Amino acid sequence: MAQSAANPTAAMLVIGDEILSGRTRDANMHHLAGQLTAHGIDLTEVRVVSDDQPAIVRALNALRADYAHVFTSGGIGPTHDDITADAIGAAFGVHVGVRDDARALLQAHYDRQGSELNAARLRMARIPDGATLIENPVSVAPGFTLENVHVMAGVPSVFQAMVQSVLPTLTGGQPLVSRTLRMMRGEGDLAGPLGEVAAQYPDISFGSYPFQKDGVYGANLVLRGPDEAALDAAMAALEAALA
């Protein structure tokens, strides 16, 4: 994958048994990847773990040591299996408890709805010590950031809103741009010239994505990189090689 040496790196940790069982299809990775690419942050690894605290802690500690940012999704709701906050606390070795500012947000929200802020809902105000809240304009219950870890909801509409809250606070680099060449030829015919041109442009990512249309095989050849002039030059070379 092409990435700028100057760009911050990121990983994503998707948390939830429902993802691993196939019951729920994850949409958050796709959204986050697009948003980070546009912001100049390179998403280079994604892991999926179950609702198991030791597994979350192991994965989180590995990722936060290797990347400038880690984004998590899932496990911050009101039910017994929402254990992400406790796992974050365990990973960082800090206390997790109901915080006054998070409680106030939830209290005002449920007062407006005429609902009770019961013990289950109050779980969503449990925040690790030292974290800052991530605004949630959709359902109010906040996410939080602790050092380089950004903890967000699994519900796609809420996750997307939280991403929009967090991204302006992060320093990005140079966004990746792409060019696509659609070829109605099989990858076996394209691989040789594609590899030769790719070797000439080591700072550009060359990808081949096959498809079939009306019984004919083809491939979308996608070039990605931070420099548009270099992309255009590489695309011209590729077109010439495949002419």
Residue 108 has pLDDT above 60, yes or no: yes
Q: Alpha carbon of 174 to those of 48, 96, 148, 198, 204: distances in Å?
A: 28, 36, 20, 21, 14
Show which of 169, 188, 208 is a domain's final residue. 169
Decide the pairing of beta strands 149-152 and 205-213: unpaired
What are the pLDDT digits (tens) for 111-139?
Answer: 999 999 999 999 999 999 999 999 999 99
Structural domain total, the chain: 2
All residues at 6 or more sequence positions from 207 whose CB lies less than 8 Å from its CB, including other chains: 221, 222, 223, 224
Residue tagged 């936060």 (tokens): 64
Do 118 and 196 reside in the same domain of the chain? no
Do 196 and 118 reside in the same domain of the chain? no
Percent of the chain with pLDDT over 70: 98
Instruction: Output the pLDDT for position 73.
Output: 97
Residue range(s) defining the domain that contains residue 110: 9-169
Task: Return left, alpha or beta for 140; rule: phi > 0 is left, psi -120 to 50 is alpha, else beta.
Answer: left
Do 124 and 210 reside in the same domain of the chain? no
Do 127 and 209 reside in the same domain of the chain? no
CATH of the domain at 209: 3.30.70.600
Do 196 and 82 reside in the same domain of the chain? no
Average pLDDT over residues 174-196: 92
Answer whether residue 3 is part of any domain. no
Residue 2 has pLDDT above 80, yes or no: no
What are the pLDDT digits (tens) for 31-68?
Answer: 999 999 999 999 999 999 999 999 999 999 999 999 99
Answer whether residue 90 is part of any domain. yes
Query: Nearest to residue 213, comparing CAs of 185, 180, 242?
Result: 185
Do 41 and 132 reside in the same domain of the chain? yes
Instruction: Output the pLDDT for position 126.
Output: 96
Residue tagged 């048994």 (tokens): 17
Do 116 and 181 reside in the same domain of the chain? no
Average pLDDT over residues 80-100: 96
Residue 166 has pLDDT above 90, yes or no: yes
Give the pLDDT band (50/70/90) at residue 1. very low
Do 190 and 164 reside in the same domain of the chain? no
Residue 5 has pLDDT above 70, yes or no: no
All residues at 6 or more sequence positions from 116 whose CB lies less than 8 Å from its CB, including other chains: 110
Instruction: Output the pLDDT for position 3.
Output: 53
Query: Nearest to residue 162, comparing CAs of 183, 181, 188, 144?
Result: 144
Answer whether residue 48 is part of any domain. yes
What are the pLDDT digits (tens) for 201-236?
Answer: 998 999 999 999 888 899 999 999 888 999 999 999
Do 138 and 213 reside in the same domain of the chain? no
